[in-house]
């Protein structure tokens, strides 16, 4: 039987621990430079459609479809190497790993993220995040719909959820009520979008960046 923790910290990845907006910008620049804007644009068109269909950013699946659509052009395989070998450790926000270490000193700490079963875990490993939480990583297509599974795997009296998306924080508050404390780092496009902010309840705690977590007394 899994032991009941007193508090469990659940921490998002994209635009919470690492700058995913910067990664997307780097990828866009690389594809345009390597293959031309028109060919690169076809990749993003495929990815946006797959995102609407699947609900997560399917970088590798979009690449497979893009490669096939371009007639199996061997030049495009360079994009696969770029994705797999991308230096995600260089995109960690300042103090991200220190924040995880601080949370681990206070209670169980789990990475909770959306994504696919291949590229997202690779990203987390490459950035050093998996090692920082001793491999306690949960990946879902829609994590806000899997909170019952999160609780089954990591039962806890209370939770603290750190995420850059207010809709995720709101879903957790609706599911756990007063058992969860929500924390919004003001990083990335979603946390700083006035329309998104206006559409959802405020987080319990707001910080300018993930590194500020080391200063909070939970």
Tens of pLDDT along the chain (218 residues) come to 567 889 999 999 999 999 999 999 999 999 999 999 999 999 999 999 999 999 889 999 999 999 999 999 998 999 999 999 999 999 999 999 999 999 999 999 999 999 999 999 999 999 999 999 999 999 999 999 999 999 999 999 999 999 999 999 999 999 999 999 999 999 988 888 888 888 889 999 999 999 999 998 87
CATH number reported for the structural domain that contains residue 145 in this entry: 3.40.50.1000
114, 142 in Cβ contact below 8 A?
A: yes
Name residue 7's beta-bridge partners. Answer: 158
33 and 9 within one domain: no
| Domain range enclosing 27 | 21-88
> Would the pTM of this model clear 0.85, i.e. be above it?
yes
Same domain, 111 and 191: yes
**3-state per-residue secondary structure call for the chain:** CCCCEEEEEEECCECCCECHHHHHHHHHHHHHHHHCHHHHHHHHHHHHHHHHHHCCCCHHHHHHHHHHHCCCCHHHHHHHHHHHCCCHHHHECCCHHHHHHHHHHHCEEEEEEECCCCHHHHHHHHCCHHHHCCCCEEEECCHHHCHHHHHHHCCEEEEEEECCCHHHHHHHHHHHHHHEEEEEECCHHHHCCHHHHHHCCCCCEEECCHHHHHHCCC
**pLDDT score of 2:** 67
Q: Which of 88, 116, 136 is the last residue of a domain?
A: 88
**79 and 167 fall within a common domain:** no
The confidence score (pLDDT) of residue 191 equals 86
- Do 108 and 200 lie in one domain? The reply is yes
């Amino acid at each position: 039987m899994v032991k009941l923790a007193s508090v469990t910290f659940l921490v998002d990845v994209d635009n919470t621990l690492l700058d995913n907006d910067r990664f997307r910008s780097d990828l866009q620049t690389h594809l345009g430079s390597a293959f031309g804007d028109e060919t690169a644009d076809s990749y993003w068109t495929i990815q946006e459609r797959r995102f609407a269909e699947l609900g997560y950013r399917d970088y590798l699946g979009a690449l497979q479809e893009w490669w096939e659509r371009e007639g199996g052009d061997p030049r495009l395989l360079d994009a696969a190497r770029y994705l797999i070998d991308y230096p995600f450790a260089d995109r960690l926000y300042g103090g991200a790993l220190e924040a995880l270490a601080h949370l681990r000193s206070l209670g169980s700490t789990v990475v909770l993220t959306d994504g696919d079963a291949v590229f997202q875990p690779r990203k987390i490993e490459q950035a050093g995040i998996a090692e920082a939480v001793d491999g306690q990583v949960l990946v879902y297509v829609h994590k806000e719909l899997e909170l019952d599974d999160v609780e089954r795997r990591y039962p806890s009296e209370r939770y603290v959820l750190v995420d850059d998306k207010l809709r995720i924080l709101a879903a957790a508050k609706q599911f756990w009520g007063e058992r969860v404390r929500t924390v919004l780092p003001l990083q990335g496009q979603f946390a700083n979008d006035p329309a998104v902010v206006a559409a959802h309840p405020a987080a319990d705690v707001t910080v300018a960046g993930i590194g500020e977590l080391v200063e909070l007394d939970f």
